[in-house]
């Protein structure tokens, strides 16, 4: 055996894993070979030093701190959770759910971009700016019409008319006589007026209109969404029939009806 072979036995020698014969051979070699002896000696000493390193006592407050931290936490993971679950599992489940939801939305949403129906303020190109660009002026038109008594009712609680798009504001005002004040709170609680107006709006512009209506006040738009979802194919032109009834606090807007 050469020096390399003997040196490869050093660790087994340190761990006491050599047979008696191997041990004797190695010891004999170490007596005759100075480079091997030096290497062995430094390795042995290194291990001795590591063995002799002092052990420290942990800080006295350690367990108290841990117990205090545990008090402020949810104690256990849920019972179905196991440490043996693969790490990728949550990610995989999340990705699959996201995919399924996306496909589902794609199927049921009438608009080209499904999120437009969910988030009226989202833009077609998906860009996120704090102030969306103003839509073209021919966005929607208003004409008089008759209320559809079978139509469901949406309620808009007016807070501030002046926050809406200028054009919508003036159009809404022009169809309500006497003109609605800028702030509903300034109206007399006893005054009452009812007006019917009808908006025609292109389907893709609906989010903008809804956003503007939201600016006026709180709008329950679930009816709009239901109606839009129910008619995914007819989205090019939508008529909105609005009855403005004001008793000092509420303005009611009648349903959206699909245009022909």
Instruction: State how far the Cα of 220 lies from the Cα of 106, in Å rounded to an integer.
Output: 24
Residue choice 16, 35, 58, 126 for contact with other proteins (CB under 8 A) = 58
41 binding other proteins? (CB under 8 A)? yes
CB of 47 to other proteins, least distance (A): 6
DSSP letter (8 states) at residue 151: S
82 binding other proteins? (CB under 8 A)? yes
59 binding other proteins? (CB under 8 A)? yes
19 binding other proteins? (CB under 8 A)? no
56 binding other proteins? (CB under 8 A)? yes
CB of 10 to other proteins, least distance (A): 8
Q: What are phi and psi of 28, to 5 degrees?
A: -65, -45
87 binding other proteins? (CB under 8 A)? no
Residue choice 16, 79, 136, 233 for contact with other proteins (CB under 8 A) = 79
Q: For other proteins, which stretch binds (CB under 8 A), given 10-18, 27-35, 140-148, 250-258?
A: 10-18
- Helical axes 34-52 vs 20-32, angle rounded to 10°: 120
Spacing of C-alpha 95 from chain mean position? 13
Q: Which residues of 23-59 are buried (b: 16+ CB within 10 A; e: fewer)?
A: eebbeebbeebeebeebbeeeeeeeeeeeeeeeeeee
54 binding other proteins? (CB under 8 A)? yes
Spacing of C-alpha 84 from chain mean position? 28
Residue 115 token pair: 């999120």
Give the CA diameter of the chain. 116
| Contact yes or no for 179/246 (Cβ under 8 A) | no
Whose Cβ is closer to other proteins: residue 90's or residue 104's? 90
149 binding other proteins? (CB under 8 A)? no
CB of 98 to other proteins, least distance (A): 27
State the residues that interact with other proteins by CB under 8 A. 11, 14-15, 38, 41-43, 45-47, 49-59, 62-63, 65-67, 69-71, 73, 75-77, 79, 81-84
């Amino acid at each position: 055996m050469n020096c390399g072979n003997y040196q490869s036995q050093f660790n087994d020698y340190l761990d006491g894993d050599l047979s008696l014969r191997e041990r004797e051979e190695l010891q004999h070699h170490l007596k005759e070979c100075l480079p091997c002896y030096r290497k062995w000696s430094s390795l042995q000493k290194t291990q001795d030093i590591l063995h002799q390193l002092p052990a420290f006592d942990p800080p006295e407050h350690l367990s108290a701190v841990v117990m205090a931290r545990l008090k402020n936490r949810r104690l256990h993971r849920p019972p179905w959770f196991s440490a043996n679950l693969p790490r990728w599992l949550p990610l995989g489940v999340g990705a699959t759910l996201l995919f399924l939801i996306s496909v589902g939305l794609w199927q049921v949403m009438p608009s080209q971009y499904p999120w437009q129906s969910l988030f009226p303020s989202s833009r077609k190109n998906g860009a996120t700016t704090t102030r969306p660009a103003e839509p073209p002026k021919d966005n929607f038109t208003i004409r008089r019409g008759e209320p559809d008594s079978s139509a469901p009712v949406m309620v808009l609680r007016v807070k501030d008319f002046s926050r809406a798009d200028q054009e919508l504001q003036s159009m809404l005002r022009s169809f309500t006589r006497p003109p609605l004040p800028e702030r509903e709170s300034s109206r007399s609680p006893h005054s009452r007026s009812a007006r019917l107006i009808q908006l025609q709006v292109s389907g893709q512009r609906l989010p903008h209109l809804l956003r503007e209506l939201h600016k006026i006040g709180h709008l329950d738009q679930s009816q709009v969404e239901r109606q839009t979802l129910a008619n995914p194919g007819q989205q090019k032109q939508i008529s909105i029939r609005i009855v403005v009834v004001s008793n000092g606090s509420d303005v009611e807007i009648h349903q959206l009806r699909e245009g022909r």
